[in-house]
Amino acid sequence: MKIRIASLAVFAAILSDSPASAEQWFWGVQAEQLEWRSGEGSPAYAWDLDAFAGTDEYKFVVRSEAEYGTNANAFETLENQLRLQVPVSTFFDAVAGVRYDSPDGGPRRTYGVLGLKGLAKQWFEVDADLYLSEYPSARFEIEYEGLITNQIIFTPSIELDLPLADDEATGRAAFGPKLEIGGRLSYDLLDRAIAPYVGVHWERTLGESGRLVRDEGEDDDVVSFVVGFRVMF
């Protein structure tokens, strides 16, 4: 009897609510870079990671990129973004969100984010963002996974950060881009969850921005060796 009543209750629940079939939620964390950099500049920890939760239609992403210098014990860069991704084509999502920069000893900046993220032909992973504020900038990232074997993967990446207005406090001048080129050789140790890697990371600040960087007494052309983990779970 008890069983029957309980079944009826559930039955009633099904009749009364629930859309056709609820969208399922998924989540995940991916750190493309989680590494120690050592070379011509000051040694630093760096990361570039996304954590997401959402459905096929909407994905909320927390993105964090940072460099923590171990000489100064301070964040040289610290960017956090909250992004909403919505599919706009088979392979691309539109992105809207906010970005908040809070490096130690630097100005706090808040931007609106508009962008595209997806998979271009020939397997290039592309991120193109426009950061809107009184100091607007654009950023373009491409990454490619080259399979040496199915476990040993060479990942070249290029990131171009292009200030669209002068922001001297952050050492950036309009149309003086910062270029980051990396090559990382990883090994999938545990599924795809943990993949240790070694690699090279090259940062070059160009144009007027380069002059600003040099004026600060820093190098506008820095090569680092990196060692770290790719993480996905």
Residue 53 makes CB contacts below 8 A (sequence gap 6+) with 25, 26, 27, 59, 60
* Closest distance of CB 225 from other proteins, Å: 23
Q: Is 105 in the site for other proteins (CB under 8 A)?
A: no
Region binding other proteins by CB under 8 A among candidate stretches 6-14, 34-42, 108-116, 222-230: 6-14
Q: Which amino acid is at 63?
A: R
Q: Is 19 in the site for other proteins (CB under 8 A)?
A: yes
For other proteins, the binding residue among 36, 42, 47, 87 (CB under 8 A) is 87
For other proteins, the binding residue among 72, 86, 96, 119 (CB under 8 A) is 119
Size of residue set near other proteins by CB under 8 A: 37
Cβ neighbours around 47 below 10 Å, total: 17
* Closest distance of CB 231 from other proteins, Å: 12
* Closest distance of CB 198 from other proteins, Å: 18
Residue closer to other proteins by CB (options 91, 100) is 91
What are the residues facing 95 on neighbouring strands? Answer: 85, 115
Do residues 93 and 117 lie in contact, with contact meaning Cβ atoms separated by under 8 Å? yes
Q: Is 227 in the site for other proteins (CB under 8 A)?
A: no
Q: Is 147 in the site for other proteins (CB under 8 A)?
A: yes
Q: Is 3 in the site for other proteins (CB under 8 A)?
A: yes
Q: Is 1 in the site for other proteins (CB under 8 A)?
A: no
Residues lying near other proteins in the complex (CB under 8 A): 3, 6-7, 10-11, 13-15, 18-24, 26-28, 30, 52, 56, 87, 90-91, 119, 121-123, 146-151, 191-192, 232
